[in-house]
Amino acid sequence: MKENKGFAVETLAEEVSSRSGIDDTAFQIRKRFNTFSKANKRIGEFLLNYTGSLTYLSITQVAEKARTSPSSVTRFCQTMGYDGFPELKYALTRNQSLMTQSEQLIQPHESIPILKNRLRSFYTQMIDETIVNLDDRLITRVSRCLAKAERVLVFSQGGSFLSAEYAQTALMNLGIICEAYNDLTLASMAAARMTLKDVAIGISSSGTTRVPIEALKIAKENKVTTVGICGFPNSEMMKYADIPLSFHTNLNDDLRYMHMSRFSEMSIISVIQLSILSSYYEEIYQNAERIKNATVIGRYNGS
């Protein structure tokens, strides 16, 4: 398909919807950003920062704003897998439109059934996007590292520490020794004592929280394998991740959305857990009864 100002919306919709999985163009731009040339970084940065205005901009205007040429914009679009600017613009603005609809999560005086439906739709969308965009090779790699690790230490802070505790439980259920830290001093001390047989995991939706950043930095300096789970692949924390696992996040800094990233973080952890269980099924189930007996100790049986 060649670039043409006369494209019908239906034609573009068919092209975009024909792509496999959930086509989150903004996520793919962020994921590949560090591999771009300087010109492509300017184009990508403009597209991400001004997605809401793209509907009203021509390729020439985008080129001017990004301090490049229309032909460079076209090549950028082709790099991202599109034939030209109209197709990429449609994909970006379409995803933005879907996100805008989803962001209307809580409105004044809405009924409980409506709120339940909004939550269901939003959670389903976030989990689908997270799982579809995961790199299978990275999941395989991290699963092997965790299965062979002597210890796994998970570092997080704030709301993401809920996901760190979930990771601790998920791995302990598989018989993998795992500890979770959210205190900066304790996390730094623990990271400093890690060995080459251990694996360090940092979890931060923003990638800017200090505990996982400092812990992964210390672990990486000691040649420990590091894993990052984050909503921003180019964030500070991900600089110290040997295995970066990114998920899409486009949430407002708003009380209604603060907990949403937990679903993406826990989805990634669940995929890792299932991958380990599937790959080391016989070995894990040899210890399954002992693990099961350990978990029932805390249950009240009425006696």
Same domain, 22 and 144: no
What whole-number distance in Å separates Cα of residue 47 and Cα of residue 62? Answer: 8
Domain that holds residue 152: 134-298
Judge whether 181 and 165 are in contact, CB under 8 Å. no
120 in a structural domain: no
Does 240 share its domain with 145? yes
Instruction: Point out the domain boundary residue: 83, 103, 123.
Output: 103
Query: Are 72 and 157 found together in one domain?
Result: no
SS (H, E, C) 36-99: CCHHHHHHHHHHHHCHHHHHHCCHHHHHHHCCCCHHHHHHHHHHCCCCCHHHHHHHHHHHHHHH
CATH number at residue 33: 1.10.10.10
Which residue among 103, 125, 156 closes a domain?
A: 103
The verdict on residue 175 lying in a domain is yes
Residues 150 and 251 in one domain: yes
Tell me which residue has tokens 């099961």.
292
Asked if residue 122 belongs to a domain, the reply is no
pLDDT for 21 equals: 37
User: In total, how many domains does the chain have?
Assistant: 2
Burial profile 136-152: b = 16 or more Cβ within 10 angstroms, e = fewer: eeebebbbebbbebebb
Q: Would you list the DSSP string of 239-281?
A: GG-SEEEE------SSTTTTTTHHHHHHHHHHHHHHHHHHHTH
**Radius of gyration of the chain from its Cα atoms, rounded to whole angstroms:** 22
What are 108's two structure tokens? 């004044």
* DSSP state letters, 224-245: -EEEEEES-TTSTGGGG-SEEE
Does residue 286 sit in the same domain as residue 192?
A: yes
Per-residue pLDDT of the chain in tens (303 residues, 90 and over written 9): 333 333 333 333 344 444 433 447 888 888 888 889 999 999 998 888 777 677 778 899 899 989 999 999 999 999 999 989 988 988 887 755 445 544 555 677 878 888 888 788 778 878 887 887 788 999 999 999 999 999 999 999 999 999 999 999 999 999 999 999 999 999 999 999 999 999 999 999 889 999 999 999 999 999 999 999 998 888 899 999 999 998 865 555 555 666 788 999 999 999 999 999 999 988 888 776 777 777 777 676 655
Q: Is residue 51 part of a domain?
A: yes
Q: Could you tell me which residues come within 8 angstroms of residue 68 by beta carbon, excluding any fewer than 6 positions away?
A: 39, 42, 43
In a domain, 113, yes or no: no
CA nearest 19: which of 76, 81, 84, 96?
Answer: 81
Residue 203 contacts residue 246 (beta carbons within 8 Å): no
Q: Which CATH number goes with the domain that contains 188?
A: 3.40.50.10490
